[in-house]
Amino acid sequence: MQVNSTIQFGPIVGLIHNVEANTWHAGFFESETLDGDRSFQTISRYRSKGYVSSGFCTREHAIHSAKVLASTVEAHAKHPPILALDADIPWDGNGFPSISVLFHVTGRKAKPLFLD
């Protein structure tokens, strides 16, 4: 069975971990099309489109910030955002965290799988 490689999910709000400063940031990701034929219906590539620049010293504070960001994203997106709060997305702290990530999406949750 072939799967349409242009399947896209709604936006994702997740946690970016600045490993250099050991801070966490709420981040917003939008779906990108996967290249080539994919047989994974629940996996999609996302690109970071923004983040809360003031990081938090604790993951718990960043989770709260991510939920607030998700509410803002929901007000402006075609689809409600999917939360990816169970695993952090590492960032070296240099420049803007322009990150491409594969997410496994199930229901209203997502988990980062691989960083390009």
pLDDT in tens, 8-64: 568 999 999 999 999 999 999 998 866 655 555 678 888 888 888 889 999 999 999
Number of domains composing the chain? 1
> Does residue 7 fall inside a structural domain?
no
Q: pTM above 0.85?
A: no
> Does residue 6 fall inside a structural domain?
no
> Does residue 78 fall inside a structural domain?
yes
Q: Is the pLDDT of residue 2 over 70?
A: no
> Does residue 31 fall inside a structural domain?
yes
Q: What is the pLDDT of residues 69-112, one digit of tens each?
A: 999 999 988 888 999 999 999 988 887 777 888 888 887 788 88
pLDDT of residue 4: 37
Count of positions (residues) in the chain = 116
In sign, the C-alpha dihedral spanning 26, 107, 90, 58 is positive
Residues 6+ apart with CB under 8 A from 16: 24, 25, 26, 27, 48, 51, 88, 89, 90, 91, 97, 99
> Does residue 108 fall inside a structural domain?
yes
pLDDT of residue 87: 92
> Does residue 36 fall inside a structural domain?
yes
